A and B are shown apart, each in its own frame.
Chain A
Amino acid sequence: MAKKLLKGNEAIAEAAVRAGLQAYFGYPITPQTELLEYLARRMPDLQRTFLQAESEVAAINMVYGAACTGQRVMTSSSSPGISLMMEGLSYIAGSEVPCVLVDVMRGGPGLGNIAPAQGDYHQIVKGGGHGDFRMIVLAPATVQEAVDLTGLAFDLADKYLMVSVVLLDGSLGQMMEPAELPPLRDPARPEPEWALTGARGRAKRVVTSIHLVPEDEEVFNQKLQAKYAAIKAAEVRYHEYQTDDADLIVVGFGTAGRVAQTAVKQARALGLKVGLHRPLTLFPFPEQRLADLAQRARAFLVVEMNAGQMVEDVRLAVNGRAPVKFYGRMGGVVPLPDEVLEQIKQLAETVGHTPHHSPVSCLPLDGAIA
């Protein structure tokens, strides 16, 4: 199929439609509004549900209710609106029903501004809602990835009965880039055995997040944790550029990772052995791959559009085998390639004369801590 020039927000909306989205509930907020606006036109044409709720709190609870029927459902918002949804997301996680959430991040905290940012990493990846739950988090950096990962988000939500999040910043939502859309999938699907569709003629089903007996709640939590472990084992995805022989590894997700790739290319032209690791899944996080890269790399540089959030997960994965430096811009400021190149040069200078491996990094990685 031919490529089309698509705006990130609209590309995600159309990708969701093609993945079989049956019902969308949302509330407008910049820089995400084109997504909602697009679906306001598109969904009624297909006799599917589009509903502009009275607030984000209402929208996520409508998503919760609709998800209980086994249909493909979605909402989208931007950072402050996502904060309002956190209670509902915890309930959805505790009820094990599937849905997709799109967060087009903007500058914060508070009302902040409408410029691109990545300050929601902790909120989305670590769970801003209460209780021990995780959400699958996919982080596109291009419009094509936004299309592809939106389709994947629905499939993973259904597979694991949980919330899948597409996490991007406002600049990707506003950017136009050629991308290829998948064919329109038939939204008709067999009814899941847990779906609440009216109990006439069959035994009743229960979807709930209440387990009043602590031992029962613990058993349920163990089931969730087993599910998250299975996801960590099976669903890690990332993009790499020139990491094969790299001494320095730059890590960034979404737009920050993409900007960093240009800096890595420029650093290569200067003869520096630099590579880029860009996680596509933030949960599950590519921790094993980063640990493997740390066996060879002398140092890591993490670039984010926040005060340093994902860098904590990189440090856990690298586990002291190499220094992990951070460079971030905040408040809606996007780092530019020349800034990242300067950081790479400084890091190369710092580690250039140190031994290739510290003694601790000579330990075999697999099995050493068994």
Chain B
Amino acid sequence: MQIEIIISGFGGQGALFAGQILAYAAMDSGRHVTWIPSYGPEMRGGTAHCTVVIADDEIGSPLVRYPAAVIAMNQPSLDKYEPLVASGGVLVVNASLTTRRPERSDLRRVAIPANAVAEELGNVRLANIVLTGALLAATGALPVEAVEQALAAHLPERHRHLLGANSQALRRGAALAAAVTA
């Protein structure tokens, strides 16, 4: 089993961090994993994405053209990646920052107002974790508990007070994905 995930958004939205948390969770679950960021002369507000490959066997390419799953955290990401998701794959969209619904009918489409949900939870910066929870529920890539444990094990000391909020955000995202199909 192998799944390729691209997480894309504005710089500062936490796309790279969300991918790293998946990578830690995959490693701690004994899976093979690669995490590769877009990098360049970029700044806050520019675009940022990462590719995470999780597999049971040795991983060849850490990059793919047609990922099995995408989290599009904003409108440019939706426009860029909707055409590229592999047929039958998963497209998770941040409805708070997109002006249209995903169109492809051959995908499992999950649109969640992640910014609004994160604000309800008390911190808009949890939007990336809400979307990650939705991705986990829609793909089954990893159990939500594995990601919770990875957060507990690898979150830097200065952010540990946010562990509870992160868990809530993950579970809220997963619950919404289970209920919502765009």
The interface of chain A, by Cβ under 8 A from chain B, is 3, 5, 30-31, 114-115, 170-171, 174-178, 255, 258-265, 334, 336-338
Contact = CB atoms under 8 A, between A and B. Distances in A.
B36 interface: yes
Given A261-B60, A265-B60, A336-B65, A174 B24 contact: no
Contacts, number: 65
A5 B41 contact: no
Interface stretch (B27-35, B116-124, B133-141, B167-175): B27-35
Interface in B4-55: 20, 23-24, 27, 32-37, 39-41
Nearest to B2: A262
Nearest to A113: B40
Contacts of A176: 20, 23, 34-36
B24 A258 contact: no
Contacts of A260: 60
Complex A-B, nearest 7 residue pairs according to Cβ-Cβ distance, in ascending order: A262-B60, A261-B60, A262-B61, A259-B61, A176-B35, A178-B27, A175-B36
Contacts of A261: 60-61
A338 B65 CA distance: 7
Nearest to A7: B35
Nearest to A178: B27
23 contacts: A3-B27, A5-B24, A5-B35, A5-B154, A30-B39, A175-B34, A175-B35, A176-B34, A176-B35, A176-B36, A177-B33, A177-B62, A178-B27, A255-B62, A258-B62, A259-B60, A260-B60, A262-B60, A336-B61, A336-B63, A337-B60, A337-B61, A337-B65
A171 B61 contact: no
Interface string B77-89: 0000000000000
B40 A336 contact: no
Nearest to B36: A175
Nearest to B51: A175
A171 B36 contact: yes
Interface of B: 20, 23-24, 27, 32-37, 39-41, 60-66, 154
A259 B63 contact: yes
Nearest to A115: B40
Interface centre among B27, B37, B61 (most CB of A within 10 A): B61
Contacts of A334: 63
B170 to A, nearest CB: 19
Contacts of B66: 338
B7 to A, nearest CB: 14
A171 B64 contact: no
A280 to B, nearest CB: 15
B178 to A, nearest CB: 29
B60 A258 contact: yes
A264 B41 CA distance: 33
B35 A177 contact: yes
A337 B64 contact: yes
